[in-house]
Amino acid sequence: MGLVLSRSRRAFTLIELLVVIAIIAILIGLLLPAVQKVREAAARMKCSNNLKQIGLALHNYHDANGAFPSGYYNGGKPAGIYGSSGEYWMWCYTGWQLQLLPYMEQSALFNNSYNWLKANPYNTDTNSYPACGFVMSSYTCPSNSRPTTIVNGGTTYQLESYMGVTGTSSNNPIAGDGVLYCNSMVRLTDVTDGTSNTVAVGERPCTGDQQYGWGFAPYGTGAGDGDTVLGSKDTYLASVLGDISTNVGLQSPRVPQGGYTGEIDGAHFWSFHIGGANFVYADGSVHFLSYSANSIFIPLSTRAGGEVFVLP
């Protein structure tokens, strides 16, 4: 009988296994930042597309009505003709987001909200108001990690990522110097600084406590400020929110991104992107502004200030 030779099978040693695991961990560590950068680039592009849709809707609204919508509706009708139906009053306690719905493929939601407000003017703090808790994806930046809704007093409210630019301050219902402010009715011809030199809408997530940023049922401090519109020098709003008076304009957040500390960072434009925020200008173009552009943000936010500055 011939000899039968057995061949032993060599297994991995513990050290070899640990080396393989270490190599895999290093590769993952090297790849993860690249994956995160790609993901953020995609989210930033989607955010830019959201603002492009908003810019196009603003211009379509202007073409149909002869002016941009009011940034926020409260109290008296602004000077000039506001359509032929005289329905300005029924929009009180709503903002530009509701007015743009028919131009963003949401005519049914707009019509249902219109019918509700016509029968129940001023009544936006209820789930019966169709738009109240509706999550409009085009009003939400994909990089924004904060909630998209809040339940307050049994009512669900939508939380947004974008604010209309009132100009210098939002706490001035009549004499705003930007494009979208309380009771405004700004025409393209009113933007004498140039539509390519004037911002109309920009990024600012809801406050950490989720009390400011209610897009379809805004109130703010009475002029929609901090809920649906924001100025470039909103020191009064900063004081109301318990923030320092210098934390206004276009600045990186004081609270680490993702933090939920009260209402800090509610009085200035910022985003969950790295280094700055997206803005749509009055001409419909979208630009990313770095936080270093804060020094020229005030002239960028006014429509007829006559300032001379160099675009970033």
* Angstrom distance (rounded) from CA 120 to CA 98: 16
3-state secondary structure of 312: coil
Name the residue among 202, 210, 263 with its Cα closest to residue 71: 202
Given this model, what pLDDT does residue 126 score? 95
Given this model, what pLDDT does residue 263 score? 92
Given this model, what pLDDT does residue 80 score? 47
Given this model, what pLDDT does residue 72 score? 92
Band the pLDDT of 20: cuts 50, 70, 90.
Answer: confident
* Sheet of strand 162-165: strand arrangement: 229-230, 162-165, 199-203, 276-281, 286-290
Given this model, what pLDDT does residue 215 score? 92
Given this model, what pLDDT does residue 89 score? 76
Given this model, what pLDDT does residue 83 score? 46
Given this model, what pLDDT does residue 122 score? 86
Pairing of strands 162-165, 155-158: unpaired
All residues at 6 or more sequence positions from 149 whose CB lies less than 8 Å from its CB, including other chains: 133, 135, 156, 157, 158, 159
* Angstrom distance (rounded) from CA 51 to CA 225: 20
State pLDDT tens for residues 41-73. Answer: 788 789 999 999 999 999 999 999 899 999 998
Of residues 32 and 283, more confidence is placed in: 283
Band the pLDDT of 37: cuts 50, 70, 90.
Answer: low
State pLDDT tens for residues 216-255. Answer: 999 988 889 999 999 999 999 999 999 999 999 999 998 8
* Angstrom distance (rounded) from CA 274 to CA 135: 25
